[in-house]
Each structure stands twice: as structure tokens, then as C-alpha cells.
Copies of this chain bind each other. A is one copy, B any other.
């Protein structure tokens, strides 16, 4: 879905190919192109296939799959297109490592959309994509990609070090996604309520505090305070449905391993106790197990 938002926009300023999982998806895109509605409204012609061998070698490959499909995406690119830089756009931490020694750009995005069909996507939240170099990738390449994204009419911002932004989003996501998945609540004012003993905001606050202690131990100075991100979002009245809540309702495997799991493993490495995130991790894994016999 995020990948389609990049494809439909970037197709106006460069040649774009799309690697699909399903044959009929690729066929539909080749025949009808991809339409965006919502904040923008146009159709882009592009090339699609289900195997990389049928696509021309790109300069940049954007990997915006869910983390649960990351390994499959990495496998299909292994040893292929050696000249291409890879931009990973994932929740959580550690997606970059799947691409070994290639030039990798780390990215996180706050934009959102809804998929209406194989060839139609709605652009909803027009917030920024943040990019930074991973390992030895030159910063100039990051600036170049950010500029390309901006020319395509999306919002982007290059960072010399993405980790302060990535970690702010990680802590926010680990907290809001897991709490939403377990309670069934969209991201609404319950997440900021801290008056009564049983108010949910206490838990949200404590989860974020745990996350901040891990960031500090990892030597990361957060770009934004995740608690302020939380309060602001609920005050704006977005009532956003976090993707993990959608996964749980559809009985799909969630991204908990790469989000909360990543945070819990980082905490362990740095010797920081995170009993609440560990609890959320185990509860969401338990929830997944409850429908594994479906």
C-alpha cells in the first residue's frame, strides 16, 4: 500500500516498475496503470511483473513490504541488480540488515492510504517520509532520493542520521500498535487519559517511558517525544486504526516481532528492563496463537 503510493507518484518523474506477488495484480497494472485518488488524483502508466528478471534494472529499489514479508522480498533481490541502491521503508528496526552489503537507505514514513483495488489507491495522510544513510551509504545519495520524492509531489526529508527519527517512531509504534491490537481501540483519547487508576493512558505513558530508557541506553537522542506524538495525535481526533489492530481483526500475522520484539531485544542487549513491552509482546504472540488453528 505504501509501495503503491511511491510508485504512482514517482512514475510521473521517472520510469517505475512494480514487483508484485500475484500474477493478476501485475497484469492489471500493465493493462490499466495505477490510479491515485484522495489528496491527489491521476493515473500513472508503469511496468509490472512477479519476477525481477522481467523488469529492467533500476537505480533505486524501494522495499516497502510489511516486515512479515521482508525475508521473501530480500530473497527475490539476492544477487540481482547489483548497481541498485535499496531503500527500506518499514516499521520497527533491522530491516536494512536483510540486504547485506548493498547501498541501503533507511526510511520511515508517516503517510497513509487505503487500497481500493489492484489498480486504485487513495492517498490519505500526506505526511513526510524520512530518509537517512545506512552503514556506508553516502549522504548525497539520500539527498538525491529525497529530492526525487519531493519532485514527485510527496513529502520527504533527508537526515544525516535517521536513528533519532527511527527510534521515535519505533517507541511510538511499539506502544500504540500493541495497545490498539490488544484493546481493539483505534488511536483515540483513551490513549492519553491518565486520571483514574484504570485509565489506559497510564499504561501508554509507562510503555513510552520504558522505550525512552532503551533509546538512552543505546545512545540515541530522540527526534520527537513519543508521548507528545501520542497526545497530539489523539487531540487531533484522528482515531487512526493502527495496522496491527487491522491485522488482529483479520487474524493475520502481525509485525510485533519487528516492532515490539525489536525493542525488547535491544533492551536486553543494553541491560534495560522492559517488563511492560515484554508483556505486550507475549500477549500479542498469544493472540496470534489463538487463531493459528483457524
User: In the complex, which residues of chain B have a beta carbon less than 8 angstroms from the beta carbon of A202?
Assistant: 278, 282
Can you tell how many copies of this chain the complex includes? Answer: 2
Of A199, A257, A282, the most chain B CB neighbours within 10 A belong to A282
Which residues of A are interface residues toward B (Cβ below 8 A)? 179, 182-185, 190, 197-200, 202-203, 206, 257, 261, 264-265, 268, 275-276, 278-279, 281-283, 285-287, 289-291
Given contacts A185-B289, A275-B276, A290-B184, contact A283 B203 (CB under 8 A): yes
CB-CB nearest in chain B for A291:
B184
Of A206, A265, A279, the most chain B CB neighbours within 10 A belong to A279
Q: Specify which of B179, B199, B286 is in contact with A200 (CB 8 Å cutoff).
A: B286
Task: Name the distance in Å between A141's Cβ and chain B's nearest Cβ.
Answer: 36
Tell me the dominant secondary structure on chain A's binding face: helix
> Is A285 a contact partner of B182 (Cβ separation < 8 A)?
no
> Is B203 a contact partner of A279 (Cβ separation < 8 A)?
yes
User: In the complex, which residues of chain B have a beta carbon less than 8 angstroms from the beta carbon of A200?
Assistant: 282-283, 285-286, 289
User: In the complex, which residues of chain B have a beta carbon less than 8 angstroms from the beta carbon of A279?
Assistant: 203, 206, 276, 279
CA distance A197 to B274 in the complex (A): 12
CB-CB nearest in chain B for A279:
B203
CA distance A197 to B265 in the complex (A): 9
Q: Specify which of B185, B206, B261 is in contact with A198 (CB 8 Å cutoff).
A: B261
Given contacts A282-B198, A283-B200, contact A183 B290 (CB under 8 A): yes
> Is A282 a contact partner of B184 (Cβ separation < 8 A)?
no
CB-CB nearest in chain B for A199:
B282
User: In the complex, which residues of chain B have a beta carbon less than 8 angstroms from the beta carbon of A183?
Assistant: 283, 286-287, 289-290
Q: Can you show 27 pairs from A to B with CB atoms below 8 A apart?
A: A179-B283, A179-B286, A182-B287, A183-B286, A184-B286, A184-B287, A184-B291, A185-B286, A185-B289, A197-B261, A197-B265, A197-B268, A197-B281, A198-B257, A199-B282, A200-B285, A200-B286, A202-B278, A203-B278, A203-B279, A203-B283, A206-B279, A275-B275, A275-B276, A276-B276, A279-B279, A283-B283
CB-CB nearest in chain B for A261:
B198
CA distance A206 to B276 in the complex (A): 11
User: In the complex, which residues of chain B have a beta carbon less than 8 angstroms from the beta carbon of A179?
Assistant: 283, 286
